[in-house]
Amino acid sequence: MVNKEMNPESGAVSDGRTDPVPSPSGVSDRTSMVSESMTRTRRVPVVVLVTPREELVIACAEMVRHLREVPAVEVADLVSAPTVILGLEPFAVLISEPVFLTNPDEFESVADSVKADIIVVDPMESATVLVRRHSARLKAMFALWEARGRQSISPP
């Protein structure tokens, strides 16, 4: 169960995973404020890096700079990765091939459950090669994430 909080001054509702959008109606009825602001909540884009090498961190920083909106980049170790992915609901998970191969079924299952896509990278590639090889795919993943968000948020 997600714990929701409401700002009493603005009427905005936040579940801790999204940026609240204040209710413009100024209605003092708490139910109206909760339902209106919940339908207008803005999702925050997130990319999760699982046990990244420095080259992957550098490459990811470069790739996300070219997206329409710069997402939060979170790092998870092998043990915490499933929990982090389930909690943050990223649009993309970047993971090196050897780490992915430790438990590919679990990584795919967890990513599927939050509609995230996985990019498995060669751990020996330089940041330049990683950017060249994966930028277009990350951009496409972000566009799909945006489109899903527009479909799931009802108009005010």
pLDDT in tens, 101-140: 999 999 999 999 999 999 999 999 999 999 999 999 999 9
> Over pLDDT 90: what percentage of the chain?
63
Among 56, 57, 100, smallest CA distance to 82 is for 100
- Parse the chain into domains and list their residue ranges: 5-42, 44-152
Which pLDDT score is estimated for 93?
97
Closest to 49 in 3D by CA, of 63, 31, 35? 63
Question: Of the candidates 24, 16, 17, which has an alpha carbon nearest to the alpha carbon of residue 40?
Answer: 24
CATH 3.40.50 fits 44-152, yes or no: yes
8 or 128, higher pLDDT: 128
Is pLDDT of 79 > 90? yes
Question: Which one has a higher pLDDT value, 153 or 115?
Answer: 115
